[in-house]
A = this chain, B = another copy of it.
Amino acid sequence: MLRHGVAEEVVGVDRDPEVISAAVRRGAVSRGGTELRLVDGADLVVVAVPVGAVAETVVALAPYLKEDAVVTDVGSVKEPIVRAVEGRLPGLRFVGGHPMAGSEGRGIEQADASLLDSRPFLLTPTERTAEDVLATVAVVVQRIGMRPVVLSPREHDALVARVSHLPYVVAVALMAAASSRDVTVAGPAYRDATRVAASPVEMWEEICRMNRQEILKAIEELERALAEVKTGLQGEASLREILRRAQERRAEADRLWEK
A contacts, CB < 8 Å to B: 100-103, 115, 119-120, 122, 149, 159, 162-164, 166-199, 201-202, 204-205, 208-209, 212, 215-216, 218-219, 221-226, 228-230, 232-234, 239-240, 242-247, 249-254, 256-257
Contacts and interface: CB of A to CB of B under 8 A. Distances in A.
Contact of A167 (B100, B190, B208, B209): B190
A159 B173 contact: no
A interface majority secondary structure? helix
- Residue in A188, A196, A228 with the greatest tally of chain B CB atoms within 10 Å: A188
A149 to B, nearest CB: 6
A185 B250 contact: no
Q: How many copies does the complex hold?
A: 2
Contact of A188 (B102, B209, B215, B228): B102
A159 B182 contact: yes
A252 B256 CA distance: 35
A97 B212 CA distance: 44
